[in-house]
A and B are shown apart, each in its own frame.
Chain A
Amino acid sequence: MKLSGLSHLLVEQLVVVSALLAYLTGIVSVRPQPSPVDDHTLFDGLLRKNASDKFVDKTVIVIIDALRVDHLVRTSQTLMSHMQDLMKGSAYGYVVRTATPTVTLPRIKSLVTGSIPGFMDVITNFGADELLDDNLIHRWVNAGRRIYFFGDDTWLKMFPKHFAKSEGVFSFFVSDFTEVDRNVTRHLPSALSSDDWDILILHYLGLDHIGHLEGPMSSLMGPKLIEMDRVLFDIQKGLERKGHKYLVLVCGDHGMSDAGGHGGSSHSETTTSALLFSNAFKYIRDTEGREVNQVDLTSTLSFLTGVGIPEGNVGRPLSEVMSQFDMERRMMLHHNAAKQLLSIAHGSGLSINHDSANLIFEEATQLHKEVLKKLHKDSTEHQYKEAEAERVCKFYQECQKQASETLTSKLQSYDIPTICTSTVAVIMILTICVWRMCTGAVLSDMINGATVAWCAGFTLLAWLLSCAATSNSNICHLQRSTPWLLTVTVIYIMLMISQVFQARIPSVPQKNKSLDMVTYFLLIGSGFYSLSLLGTSLVEEEHQTIYFLVTSLHFCLILKLLSGSSGSSGSKLHERENLLFEETYISQTEELPLRATKHSDGETFIQKLRRSPYKIILLLSISVTLSRVMRSWNSTGDKWKHLEDIGDGIRASGPSILAFVVLFGLVITIFLFSQSCLPLVLIVCGCIFGRHFHWRGESYNDGLFEAQIAYLMLIILFVYGLLKAGLVTCKAHDSKSQMLSDVYDPEEDKISVLLKYSHAAACLLCLLLQRADNVSLISLVFLQNYIMSSVLCKLVVHGIITKKMAAVAVNWLGYAHFFYQGNSNSLTTVDISAGFVGVSSYRPVIHGTLIATQTFGASFLTYLNYLSHMISKDAQKERWQQPLYVWWTIRLATVSLYLVNVTFQRHHLFIWSVFTPKLLYEGAHLLVLCFLTAFMWSVEKICTVLEVSYRFE
């Protein structure tokens, strides 16, 4: 086996990815499988008969999207007067605490299944597929209830064939806040008058839309709440008129942040109001706005409607509501609830308070049995039995409380051995990487089978030892993927360690390494940037850090150029320049210093300014201005996300301005890529424009045709690049004389041609997937890429910064470009709509690829642009591969720091809302680098193949 150059880097990256995957398997939530608890089968024949009796006939569930706590339950004003009157003695009001992420889909899931989807679950089923887990809707349908549903169409995606009658409204048109609710309410009179339903579910979106657009302080808020109040009042009156036993549950699926959005984990987002009222309730004890969990509503609902609790439920029934049942029934239901919770706890392998919950359950069951026996023997002494029953319920509630609390807090279990092993593995790879980078050691390329076998043997031994120590870890289950992923990693590390001892360290001539300002700045900045990720608020506002660093980098370079161009360093600069590159790089402006420095005493300021490399300074100033424009294009993060940005302004100012902005962006793009087959680029740009603005007036077509044409054109562009690269050799050999072709390696020129075309294709693909108002932003990103890669290459040539430092600077730019697009470290900013560009049917892989391309495209293209610029100037293999190593080392350092951080802070309050999403994003950035390396590797290989085939001819 021979590993050299990029192949080695690629293998290393794959190894790190497998270590990261192993890490993730260590924190993935366990979906609890209930294992039944023995309840001594004492109730046979005693009480089964009324366990499934329903308490109410008609159930109405009204979900008001993004209902805040201070809209209903805890408010000093009268916003919803009827409901607030009800709360004073005929309804139960609760403050409901929801889990994160506070997005509608997982919250509805949580409400109907009673489980809290773990963070990883949210990712694995990002889209709204049909819900297959046991849930309330299934149970209602199985029990023969007829369900009517009107409202948010997310429900219809989850339950496509469960509702007897339904109509969905779309939640995408956020600017609509009256029609969307009227479409729900208009079904109400007919539904209330008919008798064909048992469950009626309404999901109102208007409030959420107002929040998204204008925030919770909007003047539209009051009327909307009054409208909701009116609807609820009508429902109550309608139900009263019919005289059935009814139950109405009013609740929000999540809250609304003070800025108006949701999705995060602030207090106002994770709390919402809930109100329960019924004509079957006899006496109401005031709950005083008690705080309960969202999942508690599930089991309460399932008892009130007389269906069993869904299997995965982790909530406990609300004790106030349960007190409405008669004594016998209440004990039974509490028993069932406790049993269900314990079984799920057993199933997920948690021991609750050292099994005290189990003990309480057994005691309570015994007591329960005795009370039942007494009750059946004689029905005197009613008071005494009431008290006994109360005690039994208290016991059961205590048991439920312990089980539920443990389940909700510790549903996430960590596999410590897996986590630690993979963290250590990544750190070791990082060490090897840094060592390689610093010493410039050349690892021997040859790896023979015997060494691999030895390493595998040692890995087996280590595995046996570790399994002897920790037998219940994931590592020891060979059916799971964890041990195999880790095996790959460990074998690689062992191989590398054996290589390290054999490596020959080239004796680098000790240069006088005087680190200058820019180098210090870049190094300290990178270190600071990595360290800043340890704080939660700095992770949320990471874009601020990187914008700050990028702007500072620009000023640092400008300052360096200004001060370096005067005085003694100017001549030094020129000496180096002469030494390094004689032929092409001395443009007219930089030729001046040599002559000027010799008599630099009696000069005016203007003269000095002129002889400084003002062209580079001008380019840098343009670039820094571009940065400023782009950073205010999409405000992102957490604290200042709500602020108005340029993108909002463009969207709000009407279609003609938008069209103008898009055109502006496309013109820039056409100018940038005019060198690479202009007709194709023009067609693609036309398609991009046509996708956003339909001149044929068909709105439902949605630019599908244009997008597909654009895809086709991009493929043609890539193939054209391949052909062109294939032709280059012939031309080079034909035109140049034999003598020249010795120096002039045709293969390297091929790489640059191929890269030019594939880079153009990738850029246009990325542009195609953007929202209309982001098209110009991405073109500006391309422009900045172009400016900065040429500036950095020039600076490297002049020896002002080293190659490695230029790579670090490009890395920062890549990060910044990621955030300019409006991305953040929270999952809420991923733009799902990009996945459906030009795709009419549902193909998850394609959607995923397109979404990933849209999200990470900007930073990928930054790297690619720098590489292709470098190669076009100087295609020496060792030189252009160096940036890849630098980026990889920095990324690896950040990731390993982050793994350590997550491992140590796994009990931190924000672990699920901040740290884990960031870890996922870090992993994704790592994958971007992997993809880049694979891309460069394949480009290199293609060129070799082309070369070989040519030589055979």
Chain B
Amino acid sequence: MITPRGAWSSVPYFTKYISSLVLGIGILVYLNHSEYRLEACLPALRIYSLLAIVLQVGLLFLKKAANEESIGISSSRKAKNKSYKVSDVFLIFLLSLCCVCGVHIVAVLYGAYIVENFEATLTFSIVVASLALVRPLICLGPRALQILLERLNWEEDLDLQTIAIFVGAWLGALPIPLDWDRPWQAWPLTCCIGAIFGELATSGYFLIKSFIIDPIKWKNKSK
């Protein structure tokens, strides 16, 4: 009876990182395959960020379902939870939009064009906001941004991921002024790729960490 419960709770943990790894590598392969043409890359990047959010939501539900199944919450409490959630979901949605706008403004302040390349800048802000900010929002609820700002440390998984994605996108700006004249040096691509690299790096790191450290813990727990 104990083993399946442990398995259930650990399954999302692995699947999350594996699936984000697969998604990230997938989008990179696609970008490379399309020879970094903007008209092909931008929709792909938007779809990628949407998929990342959907994945997060799906995993959340899976986890919830697993928890409920194992613990067996009463139906009345369930209803309460749901009513609480509707406003929450709405707030999360609004905050996500705000995040996209915020990242967009920051990108403009960093020197992106306001009118020209609007689509490119918007795509960049969607990618970065959805990877770095919307997912914590989904995980932690509407107070996520505040929590992230407050604790901001390297130990927490979510914080580390957010920081890594931002730093990746930030570092991604470095190759733009170089005179190599490669197609991937076009404006949103380097930064998006940087953000995806940040995502891949943290996912890989967590995966390795969970394989090295967690099995021992898990074994201890199950005993």
A552 on the B face (CB < 8 A): yes
Given A537-B179, A538-B178, A563-B150, A628 and B106 contact (CB-CB distance below 8 Å)? no
Verify B177–A551 contact, CB threshold 8 A.
Answer: no
Q: What 0/1 readout, one digit per residue, does chain B (146-163) give for beta carbons within 8 Å of chain A? A: 100111100000000000
Contact A628 B111, CB 8 Å, known A566-B149, A605-B146, A608-B146:
yes
A540 at the interface (CB under 8 A from B): yes
The listed residue (A551, A563, A638) touching B110 by CB distance below 8 A is: A551
Q: Is A545 a contact partner of B177 (Cβ separation < 8 A)?
A: yes
Using known A-B contacts A538-B178, A540-B179, A624-B109, determine if residue A548 contacts B173 with beta carbons closer than 8 Å: yes
A634 shortest CB reach to chain B, Å = 14
Do the beta carbons of A537 and B149 come within 8 Å of each other? no
Which residues 131-178 in B have Cβ within 8 Å of A in the complex?
143, 146, 149-152, 170, 173, 176-178
Q: Give Cα distance in the complex from A638 to B178, angstroms.
A: 11
Q: Bound state CA distance, A661 and B176, in angstroms?
A: 32
- Bound-state CA distance A559–B145 (Å) is 12
Centre residue among A537, A540, A548 by max chain B CB count within 10 A: A548
Q: Choose one: B149, B170, B177, B179; the contact of A552 (CB below 8 Å).
A: B170
Whether A538 lies near B177 (C-beta < 8 A) is yes
B108 in the interface, Cβ–Cβ < 8 Å? yes
Is the CB–CB distance between B106 and A555 below 8 Å?
Answer: yes
User: Which A residues are in CB contact (< 8 Å) with B110?
Assistant: 548, 551
Q: How far is the CA of A771 from the CA of B24 in the complex (A)?
A: 50
Partner of A537, one of B151, B173, B178: B178
Counting contact residues on chain B (CB < 8 A from A), the size range is 10 to 19
Q: CA separation between A540 and B177, bound complex, in Å?
A: 9
A544 and B179 alpha carbons, distance in the complex (Å): 13
Subset of 8 A-B contacts with CB under 8 Å: A538-B177, A551-B110, A552-B170, A562-B149, A563-B152, A628-B111, A632-B111, A637-B177
Smallest distance from the beta carbon of A565 to chain B beta carbons, Å? 9
List chain B residues, Cβ under 8 A from A536.
179
B35 to chain A, nearest CB (A): 22
Residues from chain B with a CB closer than 8 A to the CB of A627 are 109
A193 within 8 A of B: no
B106: chain A residues within 8 A (beta carbon): 555
A567 contacts partner chain B, Cβ-Cβ < 8 Å: yes
Task: Say if the beta carbon of A290 comes within 8 Å of chain B.
Answer: no
Are the CB atoms of A631 and B111 closer together than 8 Å?
yes
The chain A residue sitting closest to B146, CB to CB, is A605
Which A residues are in CB contact (< 8 Å) with B176? 544
Picked from A540, A567, A624, A637, the residue with its CB within 8 Å of the CB of B150 is A567
A410 at the interface (CB under 8 A from B): no
Given contacts A545-B177, A559-B149, A628-B109, 8 further A-B contacts (CB under 8 A): A536-B179, A538-B177, A544-B177, A548-B111, A567-B150, A605-B146, A628-B108, A631-B111
9 closest pairs, A vs B, by CB? A541-B177, A537-B179, A544-B177, A566-B150, A628-B109, A563-B152, A563-B149, A537-B178, A605-B146
A interface size (C-beta, 8 A)? 29
Asked if A547 lies at the interface with its beta carbon under 8 angstroms from chain B, I say: yes
Contact of B109 among A535, A545, A551, A567 (CB under 8 A): A551
Are B111 and A551 in touch, CB under 8 angstroms?
A: yes
- B53: min CB distance to chain A, Å: 23
CA distance A541 to B111 in the complex (A): 14
By a CB distance below 8 angstroms, the chain B residues around A548 are 110-111, 173
Min distance, Cβ B94 to any Cβ of chain A, angstroms: 14
- Chain B nearest CB: distance from A611 CB in Å? 13
A454→B173 CA distance, assembly (Å):
54
A168 vs B149: C-alpha distance when bound (angstroms) = 67
Considering the chains assembled together, what is the distance between the CA atoms of A639 and B111 in angstroms? 15
Residue of B nearest to A552 (CB): B170
> A637–B111 Cα gap in the complex (Å)?
15
- Answer yes or no: A466 CB below 8 A from chain B CBs: no
Tell me if A625 counts as interface (CB < 8 A to partner B). Answer: yes
**A639–B109 CB distance below 8 A:** no
Assembly CA distance A540 to B146 (angstroms) = 41
Report how far A513 CA is from B170 CA in the complex, Å: 27
CA separation between A426 and B173, bound complex, in Å?
34
A629 to B170, CA, bound (A): 20
Q: Mark A87-128, 1 if CB is under 8 A from B, else 0.
A: 000000000000000000000000000000000000000000
Residue of B nearest to A562 (CB): B149
B175 to chain A, nearest CB (A): 10
CA distance A632 to B149 in the complex (A): 31
Picked from A563, A608, A639, the residue with its CB within 8 Å of the CB of B179 is: A639
Residues on the B chain within 8 Å of A535, using CB: 178
Chain A residues lying within 8 Å of B152, measured Cβ to Cβ, are 563
Cα A535 to Cα B146 in complex, Å, equals 41
Given contacts A547-B111, A551-B110, A631-B111, contact A537 B143 (CB under 8 A): no
In the bound assembly, the distance between CA atoms of A169 and B173 in angstroms comes to: 46
Question: Which residues in A have their C-beta under 8 angstroms from that of B111?
Answer: 544, 547-548, 551, 628, 631-632
- Give Cα distance in the complex from A608 to B106, angstroms: 22
Contacts of B146 in A (CB 8 A): 566, 605, 608
Query: For the complex, what is the distance from the CA of A562 to the CA of B147, rounded to whole Å?
Result: 12
Q: Which residues of A contact B149 (CB under 8 A)?
A: 559, 562-563, 566
CB distance from B23 to the nearest CB of A (A): 28
CB neighbors of A among B28-81 (8 A): none
User: Which residues from 1 to 41 on chain A have a C-beta closer than 8 Å to any C-beta of chain B?
Assistant: none
Are the C-beta atoms of B108 and A639 separated by less than 8 Å?
A: no
Enumerate A616-634 residues with CB–CB distance to B below 8 Å.
624-625, 627-628, 631-632
Which single residue of chain B is at the shortest CB-CB distance from A528?
A: B174
Distance of A639 Cα from B186 Cα, bound (Å): 13
* Chain A minimum-CB-distance residue to B181: A639
Q: How far is the CB of B190 from chain A (nearest CB, A)?
A: 13
Q: Which residues of B contact A631 (CB under 8 A)?
A: 111
Q: Which residues of chain B are near A638, meaning CB under 8 Å? A: 179
Q: How far is the CB of B45 from chain A (nearest CB, A)?
A: 22
A566 to B147, CA, bound (A): 10
- State the CA gap A552–B110 with chains docked (Å): 8
**Interface 1/0s, chain A 595-615, versus B by CB < 8 A?**
000000000010010000000
Complex contacts, B179 vs chain A, CB 8 Å: 536-537, 540, 638-639
Which of the listed residues B146, B150, B177, B178 has the most CB atoms from chain A within 10 Å of its own CB?
B177
Nearest residue, chain A, Cβ from B113:
A632
List CB contacts (< 8 Å) of A534-581 with chain B: 535-538, 540-541, 544-545, 547-548, 551-552, 555, 559, 562-563, 566-567
How many Å from the CB of A279 to the closest CB on chain B? 47
Complex CA distance for A820 and B178, rounded to whole angstroms: 20
With both beta carbons as reference points, the residue of chain B lying nearest to A554 in the complex is identified as B109
Give bound CA distance, A567 to B143, whole Å: 15
Min CB distance A824 to B, Å, is 13
A537 & B177 in contact (Cβ 8 Å cutoff): yes
Cα separation A444 to B177 with both chains bound (whole Å): 47
Q: A632 to B173, alpha carbons, bound, how many Å?
A: 17
Distance A555 CA – B149 CA, assembled complex (angstroms)? 13
> Which residues of A have CB within 8 Å of B170?
552
- B39 to chain A minimum Cβ distance, whole angstroms, is 22
Tell me which residues from 637 to 692 in chain A have a Cβ below 8 Å from any Cβ of chain B.
637-639
Query: A918 to nearest B CB, angstroms?
Result: 15
Which residue in chain A gives the minimum CB-CB distance to B109?
Answer: A628
**A567 partner residues in chain B, CB cutoff 8 A:** 150-151
Q: How far is the CA of A271 from the CA of B67 in the complex (A)?
A: 74
Complex CA–CA separation, A547 to B108 (angstroms): 13
How close is A640's CB to chain B, nearest CB, in angstroms?
9
Could you say which residues of chain B place their CB within 8 Å of the CB of A555? 106
Which residues of A lie under 8 Å from residue B151 when comparing CB positions?
A: 567
- With a cutoff of 8 Å between Cβ atoms, the chain B residues found around residue A545 in the complex are 177
Smallest CB separation, A857 vs chain B (Å): 24
**Which residues of chain B have C-beta atoms less than 8 A from A541's C-beta?**
177
- Identify the closest chain A residue to B148 (Cβ): A563
Distance in angstroms between the alpha carbons of A628 and B150 in the assembled complex: 28
Tell me the bound Cα distance from A256 to B106 in angstroms: 37
Residues of B within 8 A of A563 (CB): 149-150, 152
- Nearest CB of B to A604, in Å: 9
